[in-house]
Amino acid sequence: MRARLWLTVAVVIVLVGALGSIWASSVVARNDAQTSRQNFRATVLEIASTLKLAIQHEQDLVVNAGAFFVQSPRATQTDFRRWMAASETFERYPELTGIAEVVVVPAAQLAAFEARALADPAGTLGPNHTFQITPPGTRPYYCFANAALARVGQSVTPAGFDYCASALGPQFLKGRDSGEGAYLPYGNGTSKQLVVGTPIYSTGYAPKTVQARRATFIGWVGTQVTPGSLLSTALAHRANTAVTFEYIGSSPRVSFSAGVRPPGAQVMTVDLHNGWRVRTYGVLVSDSLGANTNALALLLGGLLFTFLLTSLIVVLGTSRSRALAMVHERTDQLQHQALHDALTGLPNRVLILDRVEQMMARARRDHVAVAALFLDLDNFKDINDTLGHVAGDQLLVGVSVRLSNVLRQTDTVGRLGGDEFVILSEGASLAPGAEALADRILDVLRSPFEIPASEIPLSVTASIGIAEGVRSKAEELLRDADIAMYRAKSAGKHCAVVFAPSMQTAVDEHRSLAVDLSTALEQNQFFLLYQPTVNLATGSFTGVEALLRWQHPLRGVVMPDDFIPALESNGLIVPVGLWVLNQACRQGAAWHATGHSFSVSVNVSAQQLAHDKFVDDVRRAVTESGFDPDLLVLELTETSLMSDVAAIVPRLQALKSLGVHLAVDDFGTGYSSLAYLRQFPIDVLKIDRSFVSGIADTKESAALVHTLVQLGKALGLETIAEGVESSEQRSQLLSEEVEMGQGFLFARPLDVEAMDELLREL
């Protein structure tokens, strides 16, 4: 809506701007053309008046000179020279090249004229100071110069030159009879000159009749001028202008030109009304837009300005709405971020709690079934620790995608953090039961995850806790699902458990257990059992593994699976682990002292191995107990080895240099590759119970054990099969060339007394 408004405004501005620019530029073009025409007209008139003045000026000169001859009919060449000098005519008329009075000499007066001319010649004389008539010949009359002066440097006409016998002759005589002056071209090319001639009469003016004019005729006064200099004065360095100056009052026509006629020039003619006409050529500015650069520049400038103005207005106009849109967008983003998990994009705890509230509100109103499923991956911590956080993140994303796909539109899946997911389901989607939904979820996670950060596909399982029905608060429903999930974990993982109120008591017990654990060490409630390891082929005793037990004052003996995770999480595993190490070494040394030399294995937690101090602990344990380090085996898990390879490898080497042996516990459950294992100075592989338990029944387990054994052999390691419970398993392991075993088939974990009994029987 707003965008359309601004678009309309922009279009209007563009139209107005463009039309305005065109209009303004065409006005400029027209104005320019008009100005140019006016200027040209002014130029033309100026040139014309300059030339008119020049012509008058010439005529004045002729009139003045004529007056001189009228007043002094007998004036000689010398008289005329004096008059010319006195009147400074050559100085005042720079275009003047010559001036003469030409008179008619009848043949009868030729001799007298000749005598006078020789004495005071008005032109050059012939060889030997002779008066030579040019052109020669005897004629009834001659027209000779009675007085003539040429500008210094100009050629002087011979004294005997007969003007009437020249090309000028007919004009001279015509002028005498008409009483009118004449303008005549004289010479040609660049030296083409203008002769301004006028007849003079003794009356001072031209009498009315031809008769009278002939009777009073004295002669002609003529001036010779270079019109070029006149014209160039008139042009006065005007560029791109040419001028033609024509006399049309007589024939032949006289025409003089100056200046260079520019291409595409226009011509303007001015009649000077004295027989002269001036044609002036010049370039006029066209009124067409394209030919006028000023107008064109204005047009383009106008269009550009319009464009900029439009852009500015549109930007200013829309920036507010854009800013608002951005604020909305950003607000939406922030809201989304606040309510969703950054990694998977799933609803987070805040949003999930809100959805649980809404779901329970619907359940109260419509009496539909509702359920919250709490899902926790079983082995995520191992993957994260061994393959790194990138792999862990990729796996979580993969899991979130599968969960989203398996659910119905009305169900919600969210991530609470870590590897904990929550699924909310209600109504129709719960019709087959919450456990059916849980099974579907467990099923969809079954096929391994292929992620970029891991070369091998990752298999994960999950434990699911289900809480059904309405609670007074959303948190309570999630808490119950969480409790059920813990129950699923302790029931062996990879399963779903529905919450029952009795579980709450168990949780409460668990909490009190954790409290009691903090004082267990100082109150000496821990003790060790020893489970023998045997040679699978012979069944002969080879050593023991020390296993921790907790003697709880009220509950009796607590198994490690029920308290070790708590020790791990509160860090007490380090001092408790040290106690186990010292206790096992003391016991081993005591058995050794009674003549029994066998290995004692001690389980080491990742937290113990994470510090260099552990090497010192081991050294002290063997030295203080006097136990032979060659008989001490430290059992390390794959996860603890992989957590920080660069730091672990030198630590293991330090341990090895103490003389102790190293074993990889629960081998096969982690993600160690052969390449990684090679880096560690290990002596023993303990094949996890989960593989051994299936070896007699499933092909997969058999194949896996085979692979693990081959791997151990390739690395030159001793292999021990854990959890051997049946003789079938034993024979199967033997056929796989596993040398040693440990399990209930041979012996349960034994207290020291039972061990002593066993040793006595050896």
Task: Give residues in contact with Ca ion (CB under 5 A).
Answer: 603, 635, 665-666, 722
Out of 302, 631, 743, 755, the only residue in the binding site for ligand C2E (CB under 6 A) is 743
Q: Of the listed pieces 93-101, 459-467, 510-518, 743-751, which binds ligand C2E according to CB under 6 A?
A: 743-751
Asked if 426 contacts 364 with a C-beta cutoff of 8 angstroms, the reply is no
Count Cβ atoms below 10 Å from residue 56 Cβ, excluding itself.
13
268 closest CA partner among 47, 546, 27: 47
Residue number, 386 or 531, with CB nearest to ligand C2E: 531
Write down the least CB distance from residue 549 to Ca ion, Å: 14
Which of Ca ion, ligand C2E, none is residue 547 near (CB under 5 to 8 Å by kind)? ligand C2E
Write down the least CB distance from residue 727 to Ca ion, Å: 21
Write down the least CB distance from residue 437 to ligand C2E, Å: 31
Q: Of the listed pieces 70-78, 124-132, 187-195, 738-746, which binds ligand C2E according to CB under 6 A?
A: 738-746
Q: Sketch the per residue contact string, 619 through 658, with ligand C2E: x for CB under 6 A, - otherwise.
A: ----------------------------------------
Contacts of 126 (CB under 8 A, 6+ apart): 132, 158, 160
Residue number, 55 or 548, with CB nearest to ligand C2E: 548
Q: Which residue has the tokens 């308290």?
A: 563
401's enclosing H/E stretch is helix 389-406
Pairing, β 684-687 against β 718-721: parallel
Write down the least CB distance from residue 641 to Ca ion, Å: 14
Planar angle of CA 415, 418, 419, nearest 5 degrees: 75
Q: Of the listed pieces 443-451, 479-487, 557-565, 705-713, which binds ligand C2E according to CB under 6 A?
A: 557-565
Residue number, 197 or 532, with CB nearest to ligand C2E: 532
603 near ligand C2E, judged by CB under 6 A? yes
Element counts in the chain: helices (H) and strands (E): 25, 23
- Which residues sit opposite 124 in a β-bridge? 158
697 near ligand C2E, judged by CB under 6 A? no
Asked if 662 contacts 681 with a C-beta cutoff of 8 angstroms, the reply is yes
User: Tell me, what amino acid is at 751?
Assistant: D
- Give the three-state DSSP class for 316: helix
668 near ligand C2E, judged by CB under 6 A? no
Write down the least CB distance from residue 663 to ligand C2E, Å: 10
Beta strand residue intervals within 455-525, DSSP E? 462-468, 496-498
Backbone angles phi and psi of 312, in degrees to 5: -60, -50
Write down the least CB distance from residue 349 to Ca ion, Å: 36
Maximum separation of any 2 CA atoms in the chain, in Å: 191
Write down the least CB distance from residue 665 to ligand C2E, Å: 5
408's enclosing H/E stretch is none
Which of Ca ion, ligand C2E, none is residue 564 near (CB under 5 to 8 Å by kind)? ligand C2E
Write down the least CB distance from residue 390 to ligand C2E, Å: 28
Out of 114, 725, 739, 756, the only residue in the binding site for ligand C2E (CB under 6 A) is 725
Planar angle of CA 232, 238, 241, nearest 5 degrees: 90
Write down the least CB distance from residue 580 to ligand C2E, Å: 4
Count Cβ atoms below 10 Å from residue 512 Cβ, excluding itself.
12
Rg (CA), the chain: 65
Residue number, 370 or 548, with CB nearest to ligand C2E: 548
- Give contact residues for ligand C2E (rule: CB under 6 A): 531, 547-548, 559-561, 564, 577, 580, 603, 605, 665-666, 689, 722-725, 742-744, 749
